[in-house]
Amino acid sequence: MLDHPTPFRRLKNVEKLLGRGGLYIKRDDHMETALGGNKVRSLEFWLGAAIESGSDVLVVAGGAMSNLCRLTAAAAAMHGLDCVVIHNSDASETAKQQSFLNRLFGAEVRFLGRLGEDQRAGAVATAAEELRAAGRKPYIVGDAVVGALGYTVAAQELHDQAEADGIALRHVFLSGSMGPTEAGFLFGNALLGNPFAVHLVSVEYGQAELAARVARIYDDLKSNTQLQAPSFEELPIHYHMDYLGDGYGRPSPDAERALIMLARTEGILTEFVYTAKTAAAFLELSENGYIPNDEACCFLHTGGVPSLFSQFDLFRSLD
Ligand SMILES: Cc1ncc(COP(=O)(O)O)c(C=O)c1O
């Protein structure tokens, strides 16, 4: 699904605007499969596990706009597998429209109403059980540790690209959320000897919860792969908690400014849930001296841009 590196580019117009150099972006929003995003890297490993185990149907769960669901449905289509998408939302007209791409990729879409995280996991297990009873071989997509491996590879890829371009990249900003992307990247960075300071911009949880989630996956990566890497406490992690605003998925003035700025200077799209908040931290901390002017810094764009098309109402400064 991803047979060449995603683009690594200099943000020359942003540099001009902020009056500094050394600003870069890694475009994981720029992939060939279904508009791309971080879950494509995880799907490389989930698909591998599914195919190796002889599965013939993928089961995945998420909200109606879920990037994971969309990309899983696309991956299933590409690999000749069936796909069952379970949404923990009501089957409203809006939700059906938001889930449209899943149906376009041929997935069977089920709306189970509003469910909590545990109930949703139960619904997925039940769906898999029913498929097994009908003689199918389901693979449940979403194992955090398997999925995290995608970003272990991404850390190496980014390191190689910076080195090939002669850039001493020091800082990488990425969204802090459920943890697989962050833990995988931190593990890859650790295996390289920690060349990057990793800045996690929380878009979902408080710092203790975010750190605990990432640490759990990092420790499992270490034990499952048996590779030597430093303990989680020794990693060069910087948590940024000031960009969460009113919480997960809620717009914030900072995010809106960053979103509009990147669109108008570089023609790059972000969205309110993950990448605009992360970009807000990257831009502000690069401008105000927190990231020294002589240290190169990269915003890791993890995708999710399709959700922007249902976020029109969230803008406060656009008519
Ligand atoms: C676009 C985008 N960026 C970042 C994330 C956060 O990744 P993780 O769940 O691995 O923390 C997600 C998760 O769905 C996402 O869709």
Q: Are 142 and 68 in contact (CB under 8 A)?
A: yes
Report the pLDDT value the prediction gives residue 117, as an integer from 0 to 100: 84
Determine the distance separating the centroid of ligand 1 and the alpha carbon of 124, expressed in angstroms: 20
Check pocket membership of 278 for ligand 1, CB cut-off 6 A: no
List C-alpha distances in Å: 172 to 46, 169, 270. Answer: 25, 8, 17
**Per-residue model confidence as pLDDT tens digits over 38-75:** 999 999 999 999 999 999 999 999 999 999 999 999 99
Report the pLDDT value the prediction gives residue 3, as an integer from 0 to 100: 86
In the chain, % helix, strand, coil (3-state, to 5) comes to 50, 15, 35
Check pocket membership of 184 for ligand 1, CB cut-off 6 A: no
Instruction: Report helix angle 180-191 to 207-225, nearest 10.
Output: 50
Reported confidence tier of residue 116, pLDDT bands at 50, 70, 90: confident
CATH architecture of 56-136: 3-Layer(aba) Sandwich (3.40)
Q: Indicate the DSSP class of residue 37.
A: B
Determine the distance separating the centroid of ligand 1 and the alpha carbon of 46, expressed in angstroms: 16
Check pocket membership of 182 for ligand 1, CB cut-off 6 A: yes
Report the pLDDT value the prediction gives residue 186, as an integer from 0 to 100: 99
Residue 319 has pLDDT above 90, yes or no: no
Report the pLDDT value the prediction gives residue 160, as an integer from 0 to 100: 98
Report the pLDDT value the prediction gives residue 135, as an integer from 0 to 100: 98
Check pocket membership of 200 for ligand 1, CB cut-off 6 A: no
Report the pLDDT value the prediction gives residue 258, as an integer from 0 to 100: 98
Mean predicted lDDT score pLDDT of the chain: 97
**Per-residue model confidence as pLDDT tens digits over 198-256:** 999 999 999 999 999 999 999 999 999 999 999 999 999 999 999 999 999 999 999 99
- Bridge partner list, 238: 199
Average pLDDT of span 14-33: 98
**Per-residue model confidence as pLDDT tens digits over 134-160:** 999 999 999 999 999 999 999 999 999
Determine the distance separating the centroid of ligand 1 and the alpha carbon of 147, expressed in angstroms: 11
Report the pLDDT value the prediction gives residue 81, as an integer from 0 to 100: 98
Check pocket membership of 274 for ligand 1, CB cut-off 6 A: yes
Q: Within the chain, which residue ranges are assigned CATH 3.40.50.1100?
A: 8-37+144-314, 56-136
Report the pLDDT value the prediction gives residue 184, as an integer from 0 to 100: 98
Pairing of strands 108-111, 138-140: unpaired
Q: Are 151 and 179 in contact (CB under 8 A)?
A: no
CATH architecture of 8-37+144-314: 3-Layer(aba) Sandwich (3.40)
Top mutation candidate among 45, 185, 221, 274 for ligand 1, by most atoms within 8 Å of CB = 274
Determine the distance separating the centroid of ligand 1 and the alpha carbon of 133, expressed in angstroms: 33
Residue 260 has pLDDT above 90, yes or no: yes
List CB contacts of 220: < 8 A, sequence separation 6 or more: 144, 145
Closest by CA to 83, choosing from 69, 98, 62, 64, is 69
Determine the distance separating the centroid of ligand 1 and the alpha carbon of 159, expressed in angstroms: 21
- Say whether pTM exceeds 0.85: yes
Report the pLDDT value the prediction gives residue 311, as an integer from 0 to 100: 94
Report the pLDDT value the prediction gives residue 125, as an integer from 0 to 100: 97
Tell me the one-letter amino acid at 226.
Answer: Q
List CB contacts of 150: < 8 A, sequence separation 6 or more: 38, 40, 41, 42, 43, 44, 45, 181, 184
Please tell me whether residue 272 adopts helix, strand or coil conformation.
Answer: coil
Q: Are 256 and 218 in contact (CB under 8 A)?
A: no
